[in-house]
Amino acid sequence: MLLPQEIIKQKRNGGALTEAAIQQFVRGLTDQSFSEGQTAALAMAIYLNGMSTAETVALTRAMQYSGAVMDWTEMLDGPVVDKHSTGGVGDKVSLMLAPMIAACGAYVPMIAGRGLGHTGGTIDKLEAIPGYQCQQPLDKIQQLVKQQGCVIVSQSGELAPADRRLYLIRDVTATVESIPLITASILSKKLAAGLQALTMDVKIGSGAIMKNVADASALAKSIVNTAKGAGVPTQALLTDMNQTLGATAGNALEILETLDYLTGKYREPRLHQVTLELGASMLQLGGLFNDKTSAIAALEQSLTSGKAAEIFSKMVAAQGGPADLLEKPELYLAKAKVVLDIKAPVAGYLNKADTTAIGMAVVRLGGGRAHPDQQINMAVGFSDVTALGAKVAAGDLLARVHADTVEAAEHAKAEYLAALSIEATAVTIDPVIHLVID
């Protein structure tokens, strides 16, 4: 057995770590035999020198088995599938996609995360629903998945505990952006959930972690190759995050948009396309459909029949939320004290947006965390967001800001306008789907 410093030195000097060394490192994460300083040193060595696919597979599998691994054998009559997004602004796709996939005959044990930096988190959004319990024991998760087809829960301490400790150290040592470490972090949790197939939504653009096609492709290929090396068929879609996804950004506002989407009241076109494309990938990887056209038709039917909305409602009630949320959202979802229109200062074409700046404006309104212990204001954010490519006249509505005070609303309005570019000549807007990586 090597000493921790020998493993660190090997990777520091650009060498490849053996599977045994990686397993020793992961054991050290869980039993504390790797100190915080040693863990940080190895994380930085990996950040600087990278890992091969074989190393990344070994790290992923070791972290997957650092805790409990869910087993669905002989419990379910359909495939167990999931989707994961690298995060963005207004990305509420998981909320509608889990019940839609369940309505099509697959099972979705979705373990989701909280907001990070300028990006919103699925768990934070769900906690805008009064009573909704995101933390569930593993036996309850299995029971709910079998009963209703899907759950959306936060990470259990029982699943991939090594990842939890490694991530906390990465977060404060400037090693978050390492592609092998991102890959292992995402996949260890997903594989511990017992998945048979996974679709990755790798965001690209001004509101994404990966700003360009080259970086996003590198991450997508790492995840796809590592997942396949671990025995799980995986596809990655590179999707656009050069603008807010959907018409809202902010926790309660995004829940309301989700309800409108599921019930057919309003489906923003770009959000709808991303949801259908990701869902079709999940259903095909799970073996339920042989082609995208029939998979998308099934997803559309899950919406028009009302089955997806019914499953979402049952999921909310089963996890402690109100049973009549879909019928009476105004009784339960927080409303901001101040709502202020943001109007176009000049005429022209809405060509560009600094989506990270818009996400940070939501955080500064109180809709995200500036520090880990901060309480989130569920009511704040932006609604009625105008999509890029629109031709606007001076005075046209660009969005509405929801805030706690007039002062905060005015400041957020100024930030929002500063993040936009209205120009005299129209430009080509990036497609919703940039690339598919198998």
Q: How do residues 33-82 score in pLDDT, each as one tens digit?
A: 999 999 999 999 999 999 999 999 999 999 999 999 999 988 999 999 99
Which residue reads 């995060």 in tokens?
87
Q: How does residue 105 score in pLDDT terms, banded at 50, 70 and 90?
A: very high
Q: Which of 39, 56, 60, 85 is catalytic?
A: 85
Q: Which of 94, 119, 183, 185 is catalytic?
A: 185
82 is catalytic: yes
Distance CA 436, CA 131 (A): 38
84 is catalytic: yes
Q: Which of 114, 118, 164, 190 is catalytic?
A: 190
337 is catalytic: no
Whether the CB-CB separation of 29 and 162 falls below 8 Å is answered with yes
Q: What is the pLDDT of residues 110-127, one digit of tens each?
A: 988 877 668 778 999 999
The count of residues in the chain is 438
Distance CA 346, CA 85 (A): 35
**Is the pLDDT reported for residue 415 higher than 80?**
yes
**Is the pLDDT reported for residue 280 higher than 90?**
yes
185 is catalytic: yes
CA 365 to chain centre: 21
The mean of the pLDDT values for the chain is: 95
164 is catalytic: no
**Is the pLDDT reported for residue 256 higher than 80?**
yes
Whether the CB-CB separation of 132 and 320 falls below 8 Å is answered with yes
Domains and CATH numbers, the chain: 4-50 (1.20.970.10), 81-157+181-318 (3.40.1030.10), 334-423 (3.90.1170.30)
Please name the residues in contact with 9: beta carbons below 8 A apart, sequence gap of 6 or more. Answer: none
- Tell which residue, 216, 200, 207, 270, has the closest CA to residue 432: 270
Give percent above pLDDT 70 in the chain: 99
Least trusted range by pLDDT, from 209-213, 315-319, 413-417:
209-213
**Is the pLDDT reported for residue 404 higher than 70?**
yes
Q: Which of 11, 125, 170, 307 is catalytic?
A: 170
Sheet holding 381-383: strands in order across?
338-343, 397-403, 381-383
Provide the 3-class DSSP secondary structure of residue 77.
coil
Whether the CB-CB separation of 135 and 151 falls below 8 Å is answered with no
- Tell which residue, 132, 34, 102, has the closest CA to residue 305: 102
Within 19-137, residue ranges assigned H as helices are 19-31, 36-49, 53-64, 93-103, 122-126
Q: Which of 82, 201, 240, 260 is catalytic?
A: 82
Q: Which of 11, 61, 84, 402 is catalytic?
A: 84
Q: Which of 122, 183, 281, 355 is catalytic?
A: 122
pLDDT at residue 307, rounded to an integer: 98
pLDDT at residue 157, rounded to an integer: 80
Provide the 3-class DSSP secondary structure of residue 377.
coil
107-109-111 Cα angle (round to 5): 155
- Please tell me which residue, 93 or 167, carries the higher pLDDT value: 93
190 is catalytic: yes
Q: Which of 92, 164, 165, 189 is catalytic?
A: 189
Q: What is the pLDDT of residues 295-311, one digit of tens each?
A: 999 999 999 999 999 99
**pTM, whole model, 2 decimals?**
0.92
**Section 384-388 average pLDDT:** 98
**Section 203-211 average pLDDT:** 91
Distance CA 139, CA 157 (A): 13
Q: Which of 11, 61, 83, 434 is catalytic?
A: 83
85 is catalytic: yes
Q: How does residue 372 score in pLDDT terms, banded at 50, 70 and 90?
A: low
